[in-house]
Amino acid sequence: MPENSIPKEAAYQIINDELMLDGNPRLNLASFVTTWMEPECDKLMMAAINKNYVDMDEYPVTTELQNRCVNMIAHLFHAPLGESETAIGVGTVGSSEAIMLAGLAFKRKWQNKRKAEGKPYDKPNIVTGANVQVCWEKFARYFEVELKEVKLREGYYVMDPVKAVEMVDENTICVAAILGSTLNGEFEDVKLLNDLLLEKNKQTGWDTSIHVDAASGGFIAPFIYPELEWDFRLPLVKSINVSGHKYGLVYAGIGWVIWRSKEDLPEELIFHINYLGTDQPTFTLNFSKGASQIIAQYYQLIRLGYEGYQNIMENCRDNAMVLKEGLEKTGRFNIVSKDIGVPLVAFSLKDNSRHDEFEVSAMLRRFGWIVPAYTMPPDAQHVTVLRVVIREDFSCTLAERLVIDYHKGTS
């Protein structure tokens, strides 16, 4: 820390100059996170930047906007709510916090049931695919839950529901399915998982449930795949998380977790405080957080409506197809992503003799593109993949430009 103060203009200039060396967020094709919003929303966010969301008594309108968001998202996910019933859910810093909260609810519910039955409750486990995002590994390690991962195989890069249900035992607190795998954007078959698990529960007398990690796909499937059953229409789906800062179209810092009903969130996990004014129920891992992102989410939901979100998601899907077809025409790539899923293109080289995927990634960086290369998890770790995420601000022209730059860099 410097001994003396400096003029505000100098401090600004020093930091601004350094930040010029950061990558361009619009060309960061590694990230699912929103990099552009309308100026009107930017204004609302700046006006609320000094509001601490947790002060519910001081900022009651912000609290009301959060509750409206929870209700809209719950209805989007077909939560079984009565006419005037309020949805159960909360805004979080992102899907990582949302997953921690959902996991804790499953763990506590399982423990309470085991205690009531006089059975051991010290060895909880959770079943997932090896393709889960690192936050699931964090949840398991931080909260002492064994993570039982279904291994992948070449050509099948998501959790196999049959193998997942085989791994379920009496200590399984839930099975976590992913709607939009980070690796290749693919939606896991939650419907099949639900049906197989219903059958197993019937045979064993257990009541193992499902959590859907819809961080990426939760704001995509309802708009362009409305017939796809993955949400609360399936009886075993008890909670769902979604990232508002991904395809919810808000800048980084907002996620949501929604529970099917009050019974699925144990009351003892909810804390009641009154030292900020009135009685406030709270169920979050962190206390203070900015109100801006919640306000931004509400803006997007009412500004775009169903029609607007549908148009944007269809456009993202169309641009993903333009890029996919452009890459296929080169004859050099195997496409690893699926047409139905998150709008992204994951691809690997057919021939690694001249250069590998990591070298392609480094070469594209010279043109300003940030395209990640990574190896798949076990048992497909010998497969290396490049991935381009198509966000709202990634145009058809940019898709064509990316293919041209690939040709320029490798010719």
Q: What is the pLDDT of residues 312-369, one digit of tens each?
A: 999 999 999 999 999 999 999 999 999 999 999 999 999 988 899 999 999 999 999 9
Half-sphere exposure of 350 (CA within 13 A, CB side): 9
Helices 396-410, 357-365: inter-axial angle, 10-degree rounding: 110
Output the CA–CA distances (angstroms, integers) from residue 74 to 12, 60, 190, 233, in the order listed: 43, 21, 18, 11
Average pLDDT over residues 64-75: 96
**According to the 3-state scheme, what is the secondary structure of 197-243?**
HHHHHHHHCCCCCEEEECCCCCCCHHHHCCCCCCCCCCCCEEEEEEE
Domain 25-35+311-410 in this protein, CATH class: alpha beta
Q: Distance between CA 48 and CA 154 in Å, rounded? A: 48
Cα-flanking dihedrals φ and ψ of residue 147, to 5°? -100, 115
Average pLDDT over residues 234-261: 98
Q: What is the pLDDT of residues 151-187, one digit of tens each?
A: 999 999 999 999 999 999 999 999 999 999 999 999 9
Show me where the domains of the chain are located.
Answer: 25-35+311-410, 45-301
Q: What is the mean pLDDT of the chain?
A: 94
Its pTM stands at: 0.95
List, in order, residues 6 or more apart from 349 with CB less than 8 Å away: 332, 333, 334, 355, 356, 357, 360, 384
Q: Distance between CA 222 and CA 60 in Å, rounded? A: 30
Structure tokens at 314: 């269809």
376 pLDDT exceeds 80? yes
Looking at per-residue pLDDT, the higher value among 283 and 191 belongs to 191
Upstream peptide bond of 231 is cis (omega within 30 degrees of 0): no
CATH 3.40.640.10 fits domain 45-301: yes
List strand residue ranges (DSSP E) for 48-145, in order: 88-92, 125-129
